[in-house]
C-alpha cells in the first residue's frame, strides 16, 4: 500500500523525509513555500542536496508537493490570476528540482462571473504555465463545492482537461471533498460511480494521488472539514472500501489529518490502516 501523510518541513526540508520514515510511511506531501503567503520560498543547493540524499536512500515510492492556499486561477482580478500563475510556476520548478511526482493545487473561484468564464480563465492560465519546459505534473484537486469554487465535480475538471490538452495535467482526488460535494462514496455503488466518472471525464491514468481524508461534515454539506480515517461521516467501512477498490488501491494515498503527526500514536495509526488492506 502506498500510504503517507502531509508532513511538516519545520527544521528543514529534509526533515520531511525523517518524519515520513519514522511513521512507517512510503509516501508524503509537503509545502515547498509558505502556504499562506505569496512570497516564494527560496531553496539553496545545500538544502536540495540534503533532501535528495535522504530521499534517494529512503524507502519512499511516491511524493508530491502542495501549492499555497491563495491560488485562484479563475479570479475576476487579472493581478490575482497572474500572482497565482507565478506562484504555481515557481512551485513547479521547485517540485521538479526535488524530484517529486507532482504539484497538487486548488483551482479557484469565478466569484460570480459564471462557470464557463471561470473555466476559460483557468484553462488559459494553465496553458501558459504548462507551456514551460518543467518536467513534473500539475495536479488539480477537487473541492467540497462551497460557493463559486471550480472543481466540485469531475465534469468541471474534465472541461479543463479538454480545453488545456496537456499530458502534464493530472488529478488529485480528495475523498472528504468528494463526499462533501455530494458523491455518495460512503456506499459501494456511490464509490463505483465516482470511479467511473473520473475514468470517463479525465481518465484513471491521470489520477496521480488520493487525499485519504474522512469528513467531519455530512454528505453534500459543501463544508471542507477533514476527519481522521474512519472517524467521520464517511465512516470506517467505506474508507476501507476506498483503499481496497481495484481501480484505486495502487494509487498513493496521502492523509492530511493531525493524528498522524504525533510519534508513536501516528505510527500505530498507520499500521492499523495497513492492516485493512485485503
Q: Active-site residue 141, yes or no? A: yes
- State the sign of the Cα–Cα–Cα–Cα dihedral 169, 174, 179, 183: positive
Of the candidates 6, 19, 81, 106, the residue annotated as catalytic is: 106
**How far is it, in rounded angstroms, from Cα 64 to Cα 117?**
30
**How far is it, in rounded angstroms, from Cα 218 to Cα 234?**
8
Q: Active-site residue 224, yes or no? A: yes
Of the candidates 19, 177, 206, 241, the residue annotated as catalytic is: 177
Of the candidates 6, 211, 214, 241, the residue annotated as catalytic is: 211
Of the candidates 141, 156, 180, 214, the residue annotated as catalytic is: 141
Helix, strand or coil, per DSSP, at residue 65? strand
**How far is it, in rounded angstroms, from Cα 33 to Cα 271?**
30
Q: Active-site residue 156, yes or no? A: no
Of the candidates 83, 120, 124, 256, the residue annotated as catalytic is: 256
Of the candidates 137, 156, 174, 180, the residue annotated as catalytic is: 174
Q: Active-site residue 177, yes or no? A: yes
Of the candidates 6, 66, 110, 206, the residue annotated as catalytic is: 66
- Interior/surface letters 120-142, b for 16+ CB within 10 angstroms, e for the rest: bbbbebbeebbeeebebbbbbbb
Q: Active-site residue 174, yes or no? A: yes
Of the candidates 110, 121, 226, 241, the residue annotated as catalytic is: 226
Q: Looking at the annotation, which residues are catalytic? A: 36, 66, 69, 106, 141, 174, 177, 211, 224, 226, 256
Amino acid at each position: 500500500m502506498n500510504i503517507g501523510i502531509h508532513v511538516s518541513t519545520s527544521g528543514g526540508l529534509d526533515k520531511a523525509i525523517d518524519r515520513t520514515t519514522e511513521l512507517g510511511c512510503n509516501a508524503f506531501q509537503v509545502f515547498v513555500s509558505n502556504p499562506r503567503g505569496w512570497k516564494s520560498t527560496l531553496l539553496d543547493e545545500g538544502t536540495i542536496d540534503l533532501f535528495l540524499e535522504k530521499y534517494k536512500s529512503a524507502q519512499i515510492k511516491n511524493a508530491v508537493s502542495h501549492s499555497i492556499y491563495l491560488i485562484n486561477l479563475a479570479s475576476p482580478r487579472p493581478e490575482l490570476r497572474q500572482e497565482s500563475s507565478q506562484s504555481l510556476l515557481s512551485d513547479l520548478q521547485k517540485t521538479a528540482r526535488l524530484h517529486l511526482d507532482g504539484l497538487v493545487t486548488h483551482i479557484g473561484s469565478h466569484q460570480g462571473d459564471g462557470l464557463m468564464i471561470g473555466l476559460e480563465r483557468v484553462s488559459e492560465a494553465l496553458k501558459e504555465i504548462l507551456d514551460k519546459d518543467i518536467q513534473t505534473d500539475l495536479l488539480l484537486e477537487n473541492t467540497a463545492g462551497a460557493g463559486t469554487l471550480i472543481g466540485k465535480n469531475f465534469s468541471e475538471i474534465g472541461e479543463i482537461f479538454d480545453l488545456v490538452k496537456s499530458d502534464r495535467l493530472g488529478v488529485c482526488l480528495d475523498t472528504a471533498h468528494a463526499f462533501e460535494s455530494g458523491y455518495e462514496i460512503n456506499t459501494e455503488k456511490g464509490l463505483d460511480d465516482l470511479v467511473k466518472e473520473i475514468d470517463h471525464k479525465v481518465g484513471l491514468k491521470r489520477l496521480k494521488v488520493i487525499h485519504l481524508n474522512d469528513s467531519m461534515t455530512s454528505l453534500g454539506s459543501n463544508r471542507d472539514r477533514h476527519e481522521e480515517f474512519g472517524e467521520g461521516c464517511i465512516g470506517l467501512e467505506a474508507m476501507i472500501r476506498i483503499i481496497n477498490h481495484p481501480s484505486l488501491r495502487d494509487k498513493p494515498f496521502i492523509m492530511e489529518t493531525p493524528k498522524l503527526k504525533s510519534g508513536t500514536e501516528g505510527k500505530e495509526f498507520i499500521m492499523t490502516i495497513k492492516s485493512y488492506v485485503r
